[in-house]
Homo-oligomer: A and B are copies of this chain.
Amino acid sequence: MRGMADDFDLNALLRTHGHRATGPRRAVWDALASSDSHLTAEEVTSRVHNLDAGADRASVYRSLVLFADLGIARETSLGADAHATRWEVAHPDDHFHLICRKCGAVEHHAGDLVDQVRVHLAGDEHGFTAETIDLSVTGTCRRCAAAS
């Protein structure tokens, strides 16, 4: 899942855009990029604290928003359950989420499904140029279906 965006030069990106490369920002990025799951701001903060115990919630929030502006992170809407926003590294390739109602697991899937949706929307029927496609599905995963 990870393995492409986690080792690029964050410092350079920040400076290119007129921002400063700071400890808290690096720590927030590490937290996000080293996780395979979608983290709440609180989870990011607790991971950040492993590197920098003094880092503040506020800086975490500010960093997350900054990263979103830079296009390297994004908020995800994982169904309606989550009452705290979750964040993930913005992968260049689209993917979607399968959320199992039984075991709570969240699977990420890349694949052409999202691309098919994009093509479908671009057709005559809709004429809609899709930018962000957010496909969250809740249901029962194979394993839980087999178990019941």
A126 to chain B, nearest CB (A): 7
Q: Which residue of chain B lies nearest to A135 when distances are taken between CB atoms in the complex?
A: B135
- What per-residue 1/0 map shows which CB atoms of A89-131 lie under 8 Å from chain B? 0000000001011000001010101001100110001111111
- Interface set of A (CB-CB < 8 Å, partner B): 74-80, 83, 85, 98, 100-101, 107, 109, 111, 113, 116-117, 120-121, 125-142, 145
Complex contact B113–A137 (CB within 8 A): no
- Pick the residue among B116, B128, B145 that contacts A137 (CB under 8 A): B128
Residues on B with C-beta less than 8 A from A125 are 111
Tell whether, in the assembled complex, residue B137 and residue A137 are in contact, meaning their CB atoms are under 8 Å apart.
Answer: no
CB proximity of A80 to chain B, nearest CB, Å: 4
Q: List 23 A-B contacts (CB under 8 A).
A: A77-B80, A77-B134, A80-B134, A83-B85, A98-B126, A100-B128, A109-B126, A111-B125, A113-B120, A117-B117, A121-B137, A127-B142, A128-B139, A128-B140, A128-B142, A129-B141, A130-B138, A130-B139, A131-B139, A132-B138, A133-B137, A134-B137, A135-B135
